[in-house]
Structure 1
Amino acid sequence: MAAKGKYAGVLVMGLSLLIAIAAEDPYRFFEWHVTHGTIAPMGVKQQGILINKMFPGPDIRSVTNDNLIINVFNHLDEPFLISWAGIQNRKNSFQDGVYGTTCPIPPGKNYTYALQVKDQIGSFYYFPSLGFHKAAGGFGGIRISSRPLIPVPFPPPADDYTLLIGDWYKTNHKALRAQLNNGGKLPFPDGILINGRGTGATLNIQPGKTYRLRISNVGLKNSLNFRIQNHAMKLVEIEGTHTIQNVVSSLDVHVGQSYSVLITANQPAKDYYIVVSTRFTPKVLTTTGVLHYSNSARPVSGPIPAAPAPMSWSFSQARAIRTNLTASGPRPNPQGSYHYGMVKVTRTIRLANSAGQIKGKQRYAVKSASFYPSDTPLKLADYFHINGVYKPGGISDQPTNKPIFPFTSVLQADYRAFVEIVFENGENIVQSWHLNGYSFFVVGMELGKWSPDSRKAYNLNDAVSRCTVQVYPRSWTAIYVGLDNVGMWNLRSELWERQYLGQQFYMRVYTTSTSLRDEYRIPTNALLVVGPMDARDKALLLSDDSV
């Protein structure tokens, strides 16, 4: 991607990093080598994306306020970026790792991300954000533990496991990308993976002990139900928020979402099924793993437990997820001390997803605007005052019935505004939406059409705060978000086919202030790719050649 004018032709690879943090915050250093490698998660050899020869990639384990220095070497034959689902990158959208905020890492080069998990706890994941790489791997878990002496609302578990679940294709990711570029849609997935395995993923436990499972749906398009034979799960955390500790027999995890549950090894000594299956699909795909007791007397047996009927049950479970107001977050003060329901809403934005065609090719849109990326990342255009790259205004605040049109969509928003966003879904599929750089309060979720009267049913007391939310078929979901993080932030569908074909935009949270208290300066090692992109690189990053 090219920075135009006098900034073109610059490639900065310096190791000095701008990190405006307190001296006492610790550092954790990582060196990652991203390569192609042969994997066979479903018994068929295919080309995968590995990190340090691992599929999935290594976990990031950190503590609140840690500084994460992650040096990523791109050994692929095409540009590459990693994004951090849930890490808020306070005042630093340059490090967000998505197309609109930074140039990608060229083949044979490296880039050092400098992140801080400022005032965060919880379970998240990372993933590759360009070129449909997510269909080949390159993802892994992120866990942010509470600082010492900050109380956690449950006893320390005997162990802590990451479970990355998701739908999977045996087809090479480049072939899937070409199918979308040529105007097609993704077929139905071939199967479901648990930690990179189609079958046989195993968790080892000891009788009488309690374990924490961090479950993330890293797939491409399908909601999934997670359950363990004969074992109850206690929900304790969602994407950085401690929850009321509801006990559930199964859990719906929509695309892009992360949950933490506790399980106790309190059953007779044998092995038990871990089950993951698709939701809201005409055909149900199911995969199993094994919960293995250390004193197991026999292997898994008996019928695989069935998932509950999807729609009404899933809705009820979603509404029952609330914030634990008596628990601490990343700081000693209770999570519930922020009375979001008493803050005046300064703006209402209604967002509707839509599908259609542009020049005979399948596209998806937000409020009719189908996102087409520019050659220059939006954040760099903003920083260097490069005109003509984008203009705010393609996303209106209210509904529109326009046909789908191509647009580099940027929504202008004021720093410290308190905004209501309503996601409206008129289709017969479950949508899933993610906002980079923020957590938001999920205040409402109902069948039918939203109206101002719908606010009467909002939860203004203990709604869960998270960064990814589902919208059920023919339904709406409403969120409140305080725009306290200056920068250029991606709001997108987590259904990756739809994101890739335009169902996303960027929110420019803007202030006239130039103080480092509000936003950090561009990192001194920021990548500014030499000259204009050649046709091949552009084809890898754009989903349609008609721009």
Structure 2
Amino acid sequence: MERGRIICGLLLWLVSVVRGEDPYIFFTWNVTYGIISPLGVPQQGILINGKFPGPNINSTSNNNLVFNIFNNLDEPLLFTWNGVQHRKNSWQDGVPGTNCPITPGTNYTYRLQVKDQIGSFFYYPSTALHRAAGGFGGLRINSRLLIPVPYHDPEDDYTVLISDWYTKSHTTLKKFLDSGRSIGRPEGVLINGKTAKGDGSDKPMFTMKPGKTYKYRICNVGMKNSLNLRFQGHLMKLVEMEGSHVVQNNYDSLDVHVGGCFSVLITADKDPKDYYIVASTRFSKTVLTGKAIMRYTNGKGAPSPDIPESPLGWAWSLNQFKTFRWNLSASAARPNPQGSYKYSKIDITRTIKLVNSVSRENGKLRYALNGVSHVDPETPLKLAEYFGVSDKVFKYNTIQDEPPADLGASVKIQPNVLNVTHRKFIEIIFENPEKSIQSYHLDGYAFFVVGIEPGTWTPDKRKSYNPFDAVSRHTVQVFPKCWAAILLSTDNVGMWNLRSLTAENMYLGQQLYISIMSPEGSLRDEYNMPDDNLLCGVVKGLPKPPPYT
């Protein structure tokens, strides 16, 4: 069977070469349960090809990635690709609003092109609370050789996945939420699925040659907590953030919010020995810390027990955010300067203000946006729309562009879908009246985070926006009692999930879908539904609509 897969892959590769297509990379994933003990407590984990975390995906801009995924769990499964923009192709997004899940004992093949992108991203299972058991991994997209990057090639390129971690199983945590409870606080912090004991028995996670510079790709793949990352005794030079080259400032620590990714350069210019990489929870009463060993190849000596402390308070984190700036002199994933896109000169055609809230409905915890707590229908929203039966599954614009005045009242529990016009330039305001930090992600898009400030948002706050070099990225954090503003061009047709990246908030309704349809129904704007696309719900058995031309 393996020989057959190799031959098939070679044939497809030859076809792509003959046609002059961008290269294809093929992956076969066997997703299973397995016993893992990242905090010393044996528990059921989700493994990909026997690995926890899953395999690191190494690709280059414009590559076609083909994942044949075999679900050998006892539950339906989907994978989503955090930050990969899927141009014209929400069919491959891998969330319940766009895809039917892969049922146990079956397989499905994702096909996505990392078109005109570079940067550090990750993947994870989007169903239930599977992310709490693993199934996540790094996904890097390198720049094509003809597009220079604004720094010298590093000696090596490392992926650092940091996360809070629960020793309770994902099924137990899901039962908590289904019964109306919170999942509570995590029990620890992991770096690439491990944490160093600090007793002299730890093996190095990364090695560095003296005098050489290394690239570390850092992503927070956790469930709940923002994490602060430090490299003991070393400065980090920030060079990339979620697909954008940034102004290269040095930092002794970085706050990485849930879903966020950074790339930093570390130079091995200290005494040759071992050093700790340290990740600590932020904005929590109890500080949890995870460690990993970074070793010089000629090093002698254990790391110092003096762990660098993390900063205090969210104001420090807000001030750090204000230092992040787009590198306007660097090339982008395509051969045109990043600074050619003057976002502040484009007229805003629509402003959508989203306010998160938390309440109890019939004694059960629910999270909402503008008074609507989202639930996924049996029929994925994208399929219902494509087959022309959306009226049987959901209603558009269940929320208004302005939140209701009585957000403290009961929330509506239903699918939450916004209809947004294709090829417009819109503004989305996130306002957070709660005491906890929020982190949001929008599939299929990068957007400009132009402002984060304390208080409530009003139109005159636009005067405080960054009009010049706000970073184009795919996540945004909203601090307690603060607002955040993003600008984006609605140029990617599809059904796209805007969600809280805090796992329990998302699971209990703090998300919505943005439907962007092409009025022409043209392949110029959106790909056809794949022939092998999984069908479920009310569309199962219906004749397929005519393809786009």
Shorter chain as normaliser: what TM range?
over 0.9
2:311 paired residue among 308, 330, 355: 308
Give the distance between the partners of 2:179 and 2:317, measured in 1 at CA: 35
2:432 paired residue among 425, 438, 441: 425
Give 1:396 shift: 1.1
Give 1:510 shift: 1.8
Is 2:337 the partner of 1:330? Answer: no
2:401 paired residue among 397, 400, 422: 397
TM (normalized to structure 2)? 0.92
Q: Is the 8 A contact 1:151 1:332 kept in 2?
A: no
CA deviation string 1:187-237 (max 9, x = no partner) = 110000000002256211111000000000000000000001110000000
1:351 paired residue among 354, 359, 368: 354
Is 2:133 the partner of 1:136? Answer: yes
CA deviation string 1:505-525 (max 9, x = no partner) = 100012211110100110111
2:252 paired residue among 242, 249, 252: 249
Identify the residue that residue 99 of structure 2 maps to in structure 1.
102
Q: Is the 8 A contact 1:358 1:405 kept in 2?
A: no
Identify the residue that residue 436 of structure 1 maps to in structure 2.
443
Is 2:414 the partner of 1:407? Answer: yes
Could you say what secondary structure the match of 2:123 adopts?
strand
2:86 paired residue among 89, 94, 109: 89
Give the distance between the partners of 1:50 and 1:385, measured in 2 at CA: 38
CA deviation string 1:473-525 (max 9, x = no partner) = 10000000100000000000000000000000100012211110100110111
Identify the residue that residue 537 of structure 1 maps to in structure 2.
none
Give the distance between the partners of 2:261 and 2:137, measured in 1 at CA: 12
Could you say what secondary structure the match of 2:427 adopts?
strand
Q: Is the 8 A contact 2:518 2:526 kept in 1?
A: no
What residue ranges of structure 2 are gaps of 5+ in the alignment? 1-11, 197-201, 541-549
Is 2:275 the partner of 1:272? Answer: yes
Give the distance between the partners of 1:198 and 1:524, measured in 2 at CA: 44
Identify the residue that residue 240 of structure 1 maps to in structure 2.
243
Give 1:530 shift: 7.9
Give 1:311 shift: 2.0
2:209 paired residue among 196, 206, 211: 206
Identify the residue that residue 465 of structure 2 maps to in structure 1.
458
Give 1:24 shift: 2.7
Give the distance between the partners of 2:312 and 2:431, measured in 1 at CA: 23
Residue type at the aligned position of 2:79: I
Q: Is the 8 A contact 1:123 1:144 kept in 2?
A: yes
1:528 paired residue among 507, 528, 535: 535
2:285 paired residue among 282, 285, 298: 282
CA 1:491 to 1:205, structure 2 compared with 1: closer, same or farther past 3 Å?
A: same
Identify the residue that residue 367 of structure 2 maps to in structure 1.
364
CA deviation string 1:89-108 (max 9, x = no partner) = 11010110000001000100
Identify the residue that residue 193 of structure 2 maps to in structure 1.
196
TM (normalized to structure 1)? 0.92
Higher RCO, Cα 8 Å, sep 6+:
1
Give the distance between the partners of 2:169 and 2:21, measured in 1 at CA: 46
Q: How many residues align?
A: 515
Identify the residue that residue 373 of structure 1 maps to in structure 2.
376
Residue type at the aligned position of 2:118: I
Identify the residue that residue 510 of structure 2 maps to in structure 1.
503
| Higher mean C-alpha displacement, 231-240 vs 388-397 | 388-397
Give the distance between the partners of 2:80 and 2:116, measured in 1 at CA: 19
Give the distance between the partners of 2:313 and 2:163, measured in 1 at CA: 18
Identify the residue that residue 168 of structure 2 maps to in structure 1.
171
Give the distance between the partners of 1:198 and 1:169, measured in 2 at CA: 13
Identify the residue that residue 324 of structure 2 maps to in structure 1.
321
CA deviation string 1:405-445 (max 9, x = no partner) = 21210000000110100000001111000000000000011
Q: Is the 8 A contact 2:451 2:485 kept in 1?
A: yes
Give the distance between the partners of 1:374 and 1:113, measured in 2 at CA: 22
CA 1:219 to 1:481, structure 2 compared with 1: closer, same or farther past 3 Å?
A: same
Identify the residue that residue 538 of structure 1 maps to in structure 2.
none
Residue type at the aligned position of 1:355: V
Give 1:399 shift: 2.0
Give 1:186 shift: 1.0
Provide runs of 4+ in structure 1 moved above 6 Å.
Answer: 530-533
Identify the residue that residue 57 of structure 1 maps to in structure 2.
54
Q: Is the 8 A contact 2:378 2:537 kept in 1?
A: no
Give the distance between the partners of 1:281 and 1:532, measured in 2 at CA: 45
What residue ranges of structure 1 are gaps of 5+ in the alignment? 1-15, 534-547
Give the distance between the partners of 2:379 and 2:535, measured in 1 at CA: 9
Percent identity over the alignment is 55
Give the distance between the partners of 1:532 and 1:155, measured in 2 at CA: 52
Give the distance between the partners of 2:319 and 2:539, measured in 1 at CA: 51
Give the distance between the partners of 2:31 and 2:539, measured in 1 at CA: 25
Structure 2 matches for 1:214-233, cutoff 5 A? 214-233=217-236
Give the distance between the partners of 2:400 and 2:157, measured in 1 at CA: 44
Give 1:23 shift: 3.4
Q: Is the 8 A contact 2:208 2:295 kept in 1?
A: yes
CA 1:378 to 1:230, structure 2 compared with 1: closer, same or farther past 3 Å?
A: same
CA 1:389 to 1:530, structure 2 compared with 1: closer, same or farther past 3 Å?
A: closer
Could you say what secondary structure the match of 2:392 adopts?
coil
Give the distance between the partners of 2:298 and 2:278, measured in 1 at CA: 21
Give the distance between the partners of 2:121 and 2:23, measured in 1 at CA: 20
Is 2:478 the partner of 1:475? Answer: no
Give the distance between the partners of 2:156 and 2:433, measured in 1 at CA: 43
Q: Is the 8 A contact 1:74 1:107 kept in 2?
A: yes
Give the distance between the partners of 1:439 and 1:433, measured in 2 at CA: 12
Give the distance between the partners of 2:194 and 2:538, measured in 1 at CA: 42
